[in-house]
Structure 1
Amino acid sequence: MINKVGLALVFSATAAMAEAPRVAVDIAPVHALVAQVMKGVGTPELIVPPGASPHGYALRPSQARSLSQADAVVWVGPGLTPWLEGPLDALAGDASQLVLMDVPQVLKLKVREGGGFQGHHHGDEGDAADHAGHDHEDHDHEDHDHEDHGHEDHGHDDHDHEGHDHDEHDHEGHDHAEEAHADHVDHTLDPHAWLAPENAALWMLEISVVLGALDPDNAVTYEANARDGAAALAGLTADINAILDPVRGRPFVVYHDAYQYFERSFDMPATGSLSGGDAQPAGAARVAEIRDMVADAGVNCVMSEPQFNAGLVTAVGAAKTGVADPLGASLTPGPALYDEVLRGLATSLAACLQD
């Protein structure tokens, strides 16, 4: 039999769950970070399924409904998902928006040009943007002035998306014409920034601030969860470095130039990529360039991805292939997915590079 105190606690817990903000998130690794921050309070909705490419995707009705009902939307930004801006304006115009690439002091890297990265060194001046002198481990979130961040709009009010049909978006034939309206987007920046754990730590703290503003009753929980999650990333980083130490310095090629944040964080620079950062299919000239590079540089490992053409990977002639999964295509969305994505990348890369 439940006494009055127990009944009150039940109703209180139920009310807390009912009042949790409805949060929509673009990709599975970011969804995992939001889920960690919301632990014990609520569960965010995922927009892009783990097996789909975020560079081009047509919303399903259930995902459009999640946007229309959202109190907050957390997304990497239009550099990764340019097709999402229109639906956000149309369906989630009243929701708070957190554009993660706009978070102050986030690590931003420039897009690499061409198939070979020999001229790109992570220590070169100009390799990173808007990040000079920032030490994430010393980040004091209390000193952030969040009132100036503009989470409510992030500069989206001036966009005119009329005439853009997102349901007919075909990324394979994408010529960037649909992105011409998004002239505010810096296409020189690599948007795959979630693969740097220091960014993930910073973002969780920022997510907690946004959610705390929407849901003050649970603000302390959001902040505590974010700090716990950020602290856990230090252990993850140490574990991944231990996995990669035996193969550090060995050359490898990736299918899709999506990994330079991971490369920088763990000092594992790739030699080149078959496809650029926008995941456009590799042409014959690029395949030939990478094939020559594999032969000339003694590359024995090429990393493919679950959603792309594995035949192109074998065509470059490397002795071994592995599978890199930056989005968690085979994983169950939830709080653990971010850790699993980075560990999976490290484990697969180390196995491919082993003698």
Structure 2
Amino acid sequence: MQLRLGSAYISCMLAFVLWWSSPSAAAPSVVVSIKPVHSLIAGVMAGVGTPELLLHDAQSPHDLNLVPSDIRKLSRADLVFWIGQALETSMAKIVRAAVSRSKSVELLGVPGMERLQIRKSGLWDPPSDGEDGDRHGEHAAVPREQGRNGDYLQNVDPHIWLSPANASRIVRLAITELSLVDSENAANYRRNGEAVIARILALDLDIGKKLSAVKDTPYIVFHDAYAYFERHYGLNAVGSISVSPERMPGMRRVQLLRGKIESLQARCVFSEPQFEPR
């Protein structure tokens, strides 16, 4: 009798140890297109898994060339987070062909996301014949119902993550989407996500204080990629050297810029490390 009880006890203990030491369910396979969004998703997944990043330092999202291994990652992923065709132009067809709609999270078209129109006046666009370029481009907000239209999104500035409010929206969306595909870790995603949002809020306050003394200072950027940041902090960007990374400025535009830098008293011209300064 004692032997049978002892054997039963040992069997129960072995079963408990095996259950306790067995690995938990595998983390979902998540692919993210660009580094800023990747850092947000990685924060939500902390301690559960690590999302894969498609775009690396030397690449531009505007002309990203996917290799076969990238396409395999996309096709096998449980979730794919990307901005949309307006930013990752070259990968849009591949994503839509390789990833089902239920697994593709196209952030630019998400309802509730703040969206700004691409600026097309003054020093934000090459002057046409007879255009003097005096007007500063305005980054008008896109009505939500229009922003949901895929064609209309081609006129939307895709750099949405530079708005702290949008960054928090992306985090909340990630909590929801990850919890749907991995309900076992829903509490972890929620806890991690709230911590990420708290850090965004703290960073927002810190940046706002640091920029308050220079927010009226006029400056020029290499290309128009910072409208969300400028709008949120009330900065005084007065133009861009290039309309887009794919369109380098010609001699006429360079001459116009030199004159406007002087007339607008731009105090700083920002370059971008991935492009050769001229």
Task: Give deviations 1:28-58, integer Å, cap 9, x for gaps.
Answer: 0001111011111111111111331111111
Q: What corresponds to 1:72 in structure 2?
A: 79
Q: Secondary structure at the match of 1:304?
A: coil
Tell whether 2:216 aligns with 1:281. no
Asked if structure 2 preserves the Cα contact closer than 8 Å seen for 1:22 and 1:70, the reply is yes
Cα distance, 1:220 vs structure 2: 1.7
Taking the aligned partners of 2:213 and 2:45, their CA distance within structure 1 comes to 37
Change (3 A) 1:7 1:283: farther
Taking the aligned partners of 1:119 and 1:299, their CA distance within structure 2 comes to 13
Q: What corresponds to 2:53 in structure 1?
A: 46
Change (3 A) 1:115 1:307: farther
Tell whether 2:93 aligns with 1:86. yes
Taking the aligned partners of 2:227 and 2:182, their CA distance within structure 1 comes to 36
Taking the aligned partners of 1:248 and 1:185, their CA distance within structure 2 comes to 31
Pairwise CA RMSD: 2.3
Q: What corresponds to 1:35 in structure 2?
A: 42
Q: Secondary structure at the match of 1:289?
A: helix
Tell whether 2:142 aligns with 1:129. yes
Change (3 A) 1:270 1:28: same
Cα distance, 1:106 vs structure 2: 0.8
Asked if structure 1 preserves the Cα contact closer than 8 Å seen for 2:86 and 2:158, the reply is yes
Higher RCO structure, 1 or 2 (CA under 8 Å, sep 6+): 1
For structure 1, list consecutive stretches of 5 or more residues without a partner in the other structure.
133-153, 156-182, 312-355
For structure 2, list consecutive stretches of 5 or more residues without a partner in the other structure.
1-12, 125-134
Q: What corresponds to 1:97 in structure 2?
A: 104
Task: Give deviations 1:175-198, integer Å, cap 9, x for gaps.
Answer: xxxxxxxx7353221111111111
**Identity between Structure 1 and Structure 2 (%):** 36
Task: Give deviations 1:67-103, integer Å, cap 9, x for gaps.
Answer: 1221111111111112112211332237611111122
Q: What corresponds to 2:137 in structure 1?
A: 120
Q: What corresponds to 1:62 in structure 2?
A: 69
Cα distance, 1:114 vs structure 2: 4.1
Higher mean C-alpha deviation, range 299-308 or range 89-98: 89-98
Asked if structure 2 preserves the Cα contact closer than 8 Å seen for 1:115 and 1:286, the reply is no
Q: Provide the aligned length of Structure 1 versus Structure 2.
A: 253
Asked if structure 2 preserves the Cα contact closer than 8 Å seen for 1:256 and 1:275, the reply is yes
TM superposition score normalised by structure 1: 0.66
TM superposition score normalised by structure 2: 0.83
Taking the aligned partners of 1:251 and 1:31, their CA distance within structure 2 comes to 32
2:151 to 166, 184, 189: 184
